[in-house]
Amino acid sequence: MSNRNVAVVCVRPQGSGNLGSIARVMGNFGFRDLILVAPRCGIDEQSFRMACHAGDILRGARTVEDLAALDAEIQGYIGTCGRLDPSVHGEPADPADLPGMLSRLAPASRLALLLGPEDHGLSNEELKRCRWIVRIPADPEYPSLNIAQAAAVLLYELSGRGLARPEATAAVRASTAAEMEQLFAQLRRLLLDVGFLHRDNPERIMFPLRRLLFRAGPEEREVRILRGILRQLGWAFRQAGFPRKDKTPRDPGGTVDGD
C-alpha cells in the first residue's frame, strides 16, 4: 500500500491557516490527497503561506458535502479523537498501533484519515463510521493538540511504517465504507423488527456491534455473505409475523447489559 492510497480528510475545518499547515505536513511525509468535508473556511492566501512548498496539495484539494460522498471509494476510515466513551466506542488505539491495525488490508486499499473540527473534533455519527479510532497519548494536564500537529504525528506513523508492508500482497478485496454502512443499516432494521434494539436508543447496542464488525474487518465477499444471512433471517421473521404492531415485549433471554 502506498501513501498515495491514503486521503487526509478535514471534516468541517475552521481555520484556513490550519489547512495550509496540514498540507505542509502531508508533503513532508508523501501524502497528496486532501479532502475537505463541509468546510467552514476556504483555502486562501494564509493557507498557501502556511503550506510553504506544498501549495500543489492545496490546489488539488477536493470538497464534498459529507462523508457519505466518499464511502464508495474508501475501504476504511481512521478516526481521531481526544476524549470518547470507551463503553460506546471501545478503547482508542495508540498511533503506534496503526501498522498492526492495517496489516490485513490489501495493498490497493483506499484509506481516509479523518481530522475533526478544531473546536470539538469528530461527532459520534462520524466516529461510528470509523473502522479504527486512534488517540494521541498526550499529557493529561494539557492534552489538546493543534490539528496540524496531530496530523504530523499520525502521518509519521502511517508513512513507511503503517503502509510499507511487503508481506501484505494477498489479492483480497476489502469491503468499502459504503458496503459496511449497508450491512449496518440492514442489521439495524432486522434487530429493530425483532425487538432486540430499543427504538428510543438503538445506537446504544449498534455502536458496540459496529466496533465488533470493524475489528473483524470483513472482506467484500464476507460482507455479501453476512447480508445474505440477514436477508434470509428477515424473510423468516416476516413469515413468523414480525415486526408485530402490538409491540410484543422482548424475550428476557435476549436482553443486553440488564436492558
Per-residue pLDDT for the chain (259 aa), expressed as one digit of tens each? 578 899 999 999 999 999 999 999 999 999 999 999 999 999 999 999 999 999 999 999 999 999 999 999 999 999 998 776 666 667 888 999 888 888 777 778 899 999 999 988 899 889 989 999 999 998 888 888 899 999 999 999 998 654 544 444 445 678 899 999 999 999 999 999 988 999 899 988 998 899 899 888 888 899 999 999 999 999 998 888 877 655 544 554 455 554 4
Its domain, for residue 195, covers: 177-254
- CATH at 198: 1.10.8.590
DSSP, residue by residue, 175-189? PPHHHHHHHHHHHHH
The answer to whether residue 172 sits within a structural domain is no
| pLDDT value at residue 162 | 47
- How many other β-carbons are positioned within 10 Å of the β-carbon of residue 24? 20
Do 38 and 124 lie in one domain? The reply is yes
The answer to whether residue 205 sits within a structural domain is yes
Single residue among 162, 195, 222 that ends a domain in this structure = 162
Do 151 and 118 lie in one domain? The reply is yes
Do 21 and 114 lie in one domain? The reply is yes
Encode 47-82: b = buried (16+ Cβ within 10 Å), e = exposed: bbebbeebbebbeebeeeeebeebbeebbbbbbbbb
Taking the C-alpha atoms of residue 244 and residue 173, their distance in angstroms, rounded to an integer, is 39
End-to-end Cα distance, the chain: 44
DSSP, residue by residue, 241-259? TPSPTT-PPPPGGG-STT-
Task: Please give the distance of CA 90 from its chain centroid, rounded to a whole number.
Answer: 13
The answer to whether residue 168 sits within a structural domain is no
| pLDDT value at residue 168 | 44
Model pTM score: 0.76
Single residue among 110, 139, 162 that ends a domain in this structure = 162
Q: At 116, which amino acid appears?
A: G
Pairing of β 132-134 and β 76-80: parallel
| pLDDT value at residue 165 | 47
Do 60 and 133 lie in one domain? The reply is yes
- CATH at 81: 3.40.1280.10
Using CB atoms within 10 A of its CB, is residue 249 exposed (0-12), middle (13-18) or buried (19+)? exposed
| pLDDT value at residue 2 | 75
Taking the C-alpha atoms of residue 83 and residue 186, their distance in angstroms, rounded to an integer, is 29
Q: Which residue has the cell 492566501?
A: 45
- Alpha-carbon Rg for the chain in angstroms: 20
Name every residue whose Cβ is closer than 8 Å to that of residue 54 and which is 6 or more positions away in sequence. Answer: 20, 23, 24, 26, 27
Strand partners, 77: 112
